[in-house]
Amino acid sequence: MSLVVGLLYFFLRRLAYLLSISVTKPAERNFPHVHSFVLPDPSHFSANLLYSPLPTNSFFQNFAVNNGNESEYLHPYFIKPSLSSLSLSYPSIFCNSSITYQVFSPDLTISTQDKNPDQHPKISSFSDLSVTLDFPSTNLQFFLVRGSPYLTCLVKGKSEVLISSIVTIESMSFNSILTKYTIKLNNKQKWLIYASSPIKFSKNDKFSITSDAFSGIIRIAISPDSGSAFESILDQHSTAYPVFGEATFTNLFTLEYRWEKQGFGDLLMLAHPLQLELLSSAENDKVVILKDFKYNSMDGDLVGVVGDSWILKSKPVPITWNSIQGIDKKHFPRIISSLDNDTKNLNLTATMSIKSSYFFGKAIARAARLELVAEEVSHPVVIPHILKFLKTSIQPWLDSTFSGNGFLYESKWRGLVTKLGSNDPLADFGFGMYNDHHFHLGYFLYAIAVIAKQDPDWGATYKPQAYSLMSDFMSQNPNFKYPVLRNFDLWKLHSWAGGIPEFPDGRNQESTSEAVNAYYAASLLGLAYGDSEVFELGSSLTSFEIMSAQKWWHVEENSELYAKDFVKENRVVGILWNSKRESRLWWASAELRECRLAIQVMPVTPITEALFSDVGYVKELVEWTSPALKRKDVDEGWKGFYYAMEAIYDWESALGKILDLTGFDDGNSLTNLLWWVYSRKH
C-alpha cells in the first residue's frame, strides 16, 4: 500500500469511527446509570479522547492513572514517563524458582533543555498497537508502538534535545552527515540515535549529551549484539517509522495488523514467539522474517519482521454445546442418576442469596452445565426444572431488581460496574475498578446462552441485556458505549485482568481457563442468537486465548521460554504480569499446587479439551501437582479439577477417585465430572 493510499485508508476508518459515534445513542439503556465513587477521572487523556470509551486493561494503563509516571513494558523496552522526560530501559531478567521479572533501569532519558514541568504528559492518541504521548512542557511527542525496536520521538519547535544516562557514557561517535550517533555506555550497552536531518550533539559531562536546536524525528534503538550485523539492519530501517497500528479480525481465526508508516523505506518490527508461529501459519508474501535478528524478552525472543502488515492465523477450535467426542450410550445411566440428584438439589434460595457477581455467575453456569448434560445424555425430563431455576435466579440481575447487587453503567471510563463495586474498589474482586470483567461476565453469558437456546422467546426478551454484558468486554467495533475488547490484548494475544489501578509490572492475568470460558461463552451466545459476527469473534478470541495460555502459562518440563530455575519448579504460571511471572496466586501460596492447577482448569466444559490438547503436558502437570494432594487439608473441590486432568489420559483411575469425592467446587458438580470422564476418548 502506498503512503497516500495508506493515509486515505486510515483517514476513512477514522471518519467511519467518528460517524459511528455521532449516530449511536449516547447511553447504555439496559442498566441504570451510576456515578462511581471509586474510579478516578481519566485526566491524562487529552480532551478530544474523552468522548469515546477509554481502555481499562491496556498495555499503557499506568500512563493513564495517578501521576502517569509508572513504567510500562512495551516490547522490547520499558518506557517510563515523568513530568518533563521519558526514560527508556532495555531490561535484564531476574529469575529464581518462584519468580521471574524484568528489571527496569533508566538506561537513557530523553528531554529538552527548556523545561516547564507544570504540565504533565498527555495521551494524545492511542490505537490497538500504539499510544502517543505528548510532553507539552518539552516540545516532545513519542510514538510508542509495540514491538518497535526503535523509540520514535518527534521534536517540535527547534528544541535542544537532552539525552542522559544513569551510567557513564563511555564514547560517542557519529556519521559524516550527522544523522546517526553511536553511544556506548559503561554497562556494555550500545545505543544508536538516528535523526531525520543533521543534528549536532555535544557531550555535557560523563552522563549526558545535548543537541543544537533541532526539529524533526529522532529514533533511538539498542543494538542487541556487539558486532555490526544487527546495527546495519537497524541502519537500513531507521527511516521508516510507525505512528500507530490497527489490529482487525478479518476472518475466522485470522487477525491482521496494519501500521501507519511515515518516512521512507520498509518497516522493521519485532514479533514475539506466538506471533512468529502464527505468521508462518498464514500467507504473508510481503513479510520478511529476519530470524537471527533478536531482542531479549521474558516472553521469549523477539524476532525482526519487515513489512507494513501482518496476517496472524490461529489454530481453529471447535465451539460446541456438547462434548466434542461424544459419550458412549452405555455410560448414560450412571450420569443420569447423578444428574437427577444434582437437579433435585438445585437450591434457588441459596443461589439467589449470593451477592457476589463472581460466585453467582459460577452458580448459574454450573446449573447451565446440568442442562447441557441432560441434553447430551438424552434425559430431557429434568430440563424444565433446570431452566426454571436458571430464569428465576438470573432475571433479577437482568431486570436490575436484585436488591443485593446488580449491574450499573458508569460513564467516566464507560462500562458496567456492579452496585457493590461502585462504592468499594475491592468489592466483587475489583469489578468496579474494571478488574476481572471477562471472568464474571463469561459465566453469566454461558447461562444466558443456554436459556436462550432452549427458549428463544426468553432469549429475545433479554437480548438487550445479554448483548450489554457481552459488549462490555467483547465489542469489536468502536462504539459509544464500550471500549473495543476491554480485556483482550491484540498484540500479546491474550486477555488481561487488573483493571485500571497502577501496577509496577503492568496488567496481569491469573485464570486462563476462565478467560477462555468468557470468549467460548460469548461464541455460544452468538450461536444461540444466530449471530455469526459474535460467534466468529468469540471463536477467534477463544482460539488465541488458548494458544497464549499454552505458550506462556503452561510450562513444560523442557520449556526454553523461561529460565531453568523457574521451569524446574513450575508446571504452570500462577500470576502472569506484563513484565513478571509469579508462582503464587492472589489467594494461595505457591506450595498449594492443587489450587494453581484448579484455577487454570475451571470451569470444565467442552472447550477444556482444546485448552488441554497436549496430553504430554497434562501428564506433567498432574505429576507435578500430585505431592500437594498428600496434604490433609486439601479441599475436595480442587481435587475434582486435578482428577479431571488425570482423566485425559487415565479415565478409569480418575473415575474411581471422582466417585469418592465428598464435595465439589461451587462451579462444578459430580454430574459435570462424570460427563467429562465418560466423554474422554476410550
Ligand X SMILES: *[C@@H]1O[C@H](CO)[C@@H](O)[C@H](O)[C@H]1NC(C)=O
List active site positions: 436, 510, 514
Binder to ligand X among 24, 43, 92, 96 (CB under 6 A)?
Answer: 96
Query: Which DSSP state fits 479?
Result: -
> Shortest gap between Cβ of 634 and ligand X (angstroms)?
19
- CA separation for the pair 610, 542 (Å, rounded): 10
Interaction between residue 107 and ligand X (CB under 6 A): no
Binder to ligand X among 92, 197, 228, 347 (CB under 6 A)?
Answer: 347
Interaction between residue 97 and ligand X (CB under 6 A): yes
Q: Closest CB to ligand X among 273 and 404?
A: 404
Q: Which range, of 63-71, 147-155, 326-334, 416-424, touches ligand X by CB under 6 A?
A: 63-71
Around Cβ 204, how many Cβ atoms within 10 Å? Answer: 13
- CA separation for the pair 420, 411 (Å, rounded): 17
Interaction between residue 349 and ligand X (CB under 6 A): yes
Q: Closest CB to ligand X among 197 and 341?
A: 341
Give buried/exposed letters for 111-140 (b at 16+ CB in 10 A, else e).
Answer: bbeeeeeeebbbbbbbbbbbbbbbbbbbbb
Comparing every residue's Cβ against ligand X, the nearest one is 350
> Shortest gap between Cβ of 441 and ligand X (angstroms)?
25
Pairing of strands 140-145, 130-135: antiparallel
Mention every residue, 6+ apart, whose C-beta is less than 8 A from residue 384: none
Crossing angle of helices 463-474 and 437-454, in 10° steps, is 150
Q: Which range, of 97-105, 144-152, 176-184, 619-627, touches ligand X by CB under 6 A?
A: 97-105
3-class SS of residue 442: helix
- Is the torsion defined by CA of 360, 363, 366, 367 positive or negative? negative
> Shortest gap between Cβ of 76 and ligand X (angstroms)?
21
Interaction between residue 103 and ligand X (CB under 6 A): no
Of residues 282 through 341, those in contact with ligand X by CB under 6 A are 338, 341
Interaction between residue 558 and ligand X (CB under 6 A): no
Q: Closest CB to ligand X among 197 and 347?
A: 347
Q: Closest CB to ligand X among 446 and 664?
A: 664
Cell 425430563 identifies what position? 381
Binder to ligand X among 69, 248, 281, 613 (CB under 6 A)?
Answer: 69
3-class SS of residue 511: coil
Q: Closest CB to ligand X among 106 and 432?
A: 106
Of residues 629 through 658, those in contact with ligand X by CB under 6 A are none
Query: For ligand X, what does the binding mask look like between residues 411 and 450, x meaning CB under 6 A?
Result: ----------------------------------------
Give 303's strand partners.
Answer: 271, 294
Interaction between residue 92 and ligand X (CB under 6 A): no
Q: 3-state SS of 324-378?
A: CCCCCHHHHHHHHHHHHHHHHCCCHHHHHCCCCHHHHHHHHHHHHHHHHHHHHCC
Interaction between residue 67 and ligand X (CB under 6 A): yes
Q: Which range, of 19-27, 62-70, 487-495, 515-523, touches ligand X by CB under 6 A?
A: 62-70
Q: Closest CB to ligand X among 28 and 342?
A: 342
Read off the C-alpha cell for 641. Answer: 479439577
Binder to ligand X among 54, 55, 70, 546 (CB under 6 A)?
Answer: 70
Binder to ligand X among 173, 176, 345, 401 (CB under 6 A)?
Answer: 345
- CA separation for the pair 184, 168 (Å, rounded): 9
Mention every residue, 6+ apart, whose C-beta is less than 8 A from residue 319: 520, 523, 524, 527, 535, 538, 539, 542, 607
Binder to ligand X among 12, 16, 350, 426 (CB under 6 A)?
Answer: 350
Give, in degrees to the nearest 5, the angle at Cα 95 between 548 and 495.
Answer: 20
> Shortest gap between Cβ of 103 and ligand X (angstroms)?
10
Binder to ligand X among 65, 99, 233, 546 (CB under 6 A)?
Answer: 99
Q: Is the separation of the CB atoms in 629 and 646 below 8 Å? A: no
Q: Closest CB to ligand X among 60 and 482?
A: 60
Q: 3-state SS of 555-569?
A: CCCCCCCCCHHHHHH
- CA separation for the pair 48, 417 (Å, rounded): 24
Binding site for ligand X (CB under 6 A): 67, 69-70, 96-99, 338, 341-342, 345, 347, 349-350
